[in-house]
Copies of this chain bind each other. A is one copy, B any other.
Amino acid sequence: MANLLIGIDLGGTNIKIGCFDTHLKLLKKTSITTDANTGPQAVVERMLAAVGGLVKESGFALSDISAAGIGTPGPADYKAGIIINSPNMPAFKNVPIRQMLSDGLRCPVVFDNDANVACFGEFIAGAGKGVDDMAFFTLGTGIGGGVVSEGKLLRGSGGNAAELGHTIIYPDGRLCNCGQKGCAEAYASASNTAKRATEAIEAGEKSTLKKVLDKYGQITCKDVYDHLKAGDKLAKKITDETAEALAILCINVLHTTEPQRIVFAGGMIAAGDVLLNRIKDYFNEHIWSLKKESVEICFATLGEDAGIIGAAALAMANSKS
């Protein structure tokens, strides 16, 4: 008669699953490959089998699960519980994922954007502890966003609020994957940071990164930060542009949702203080003097577990409301 909570992070490559007690203590976790091309039915069946195995290994039964949460990349119809058309999982079209899971687990299921879910995880158990209002950016291939306002996720009319990476900071600037021009994501995501370095070298700018490009045919974001630390000037310029774009994002989210803390997550935060301090520098350079130092800017602390923790925390919050 335990009250287990299940948190699921469904990505294009892997599905991470965590089994939690009612204090959000992680009892056991696992990760399986998504193999999205096998189709939604097969993926959900393997997901349910993995949950069953995890619960059993934790010493419980499926009937002990009180609620579950799942996060997927957007856009989706989160209010209706449906993955409509996922760029990372082309075989998933109009999939009623919430209902499928709810039927399989026989419990209420919360379905939300993966960045929202990770944001809520950090809010409850990570870098957001102690505040009521938080903004969150995850810096990976794209830039995901999340906002917590007065302790609750900001969801918007269709569950697609906080798509902060697609706010426009340079109108008519770089073309974003989404089709808009000048999105923050088109400058400051990990992949676009690497892409801007590549473009600069191809345009003839001098950099120690050229050797990497010549040898491997590509530059990663990690390469940029490694060469920055070794003193490369182009890497510094590219990092500064990334940091400035992220600082503008921070200013705009501050003026829109007024968080007490802004948390950055995702692979790119491995760059450490050379990135974080530049974001703070540009924030203080651009912000209204009245608002200087009015918000803490920091890195996430939960790493890859933010998604499963957040999904379980949302499931818990939902069952209490």
Bound Cα distance from A236 to B288, whole angstroms: 31
A244 interfacial contact with B, CB 8 Å: yes
Q: What are 27 inter-chain pairs, A to B, with CB distance below 8 A?
A: A75-B290, A131-B157, A132-B157, A133-B156, A133-B157, A149-B155, A149-B161, A150-B155, A154-B257, A155-B258, A157-B258, A157-B260, A159-B258, A160-B258, A162-B255, A163-B255, A163-B256, A164-B256, A166-B255, A167-B255, A168-B251, A178-B288, A179-B290, A180-B286, A180-B287, A180-B288, A256-B256
Q: Which of A259-288 contact B (CB under 8 A)?
A: 259-260, 286-288
Answer yes or no: A117 CB below 8 A from chain B CBs. Answer: no
Contacts of A178 in B (CB 8 A): 288, 290
How many of chain A's residues touch chain B, expressed as a range?
A: 35 or more
CB distance from A68 to the nearest CB of B (A): 23
A171 touches B258 (CB 8 A): no
A147 — which chain B residues lie within 8 A by C-beta? 256
Interface residues of A in 112-161 (CB under 8 A from B): 131-133, 145, 147, 149-150, 154-161
Q: Is A253 an interface position by the 8 A CB rule?
A: yes
Copies in the complex: 2
- Determine whether the beta carbon of B288 is less than 8 Å from that of A168: no
- Chain B: minimal CB distance from A300 (Å): 19
Contacts of A132 in B (CB 8 A): 157
| Residues in B whose Cβ lies below 8 Å from that of A244 | 171
Interface residues of A in 276-306 (CB under 8 A from B): 286-290
| Chain B residues positioned under 8 Å from A258 (CB to CB) | 155-161, 163
Say whether A181 faces chain B, with CB atoms less than 8 Å apart.
yes
- Determine the distance from Cα of A178 to Cα of B291 in the docked complex, in whole angstroms: 10
Contact A251 B157, beta carbon cutoff 8 Å: no
Bound together, the chains give a CA A236 to CA B285 distance in angstroms of 34
Best-buried of A155, A156, A179, A288 by chain B (most CB within 10 Å): A156
Assuming the contacts A149-B156, A181-B286, A286-B181, asked whether A253 and B256 have C-beta atoms less than 8 A apart, the reply is yes
Return the chain B residue nearest A247 by Cβ: B171
Task: Give the complex CA separation of A288 and B74 in angstroms.
Answer: 14
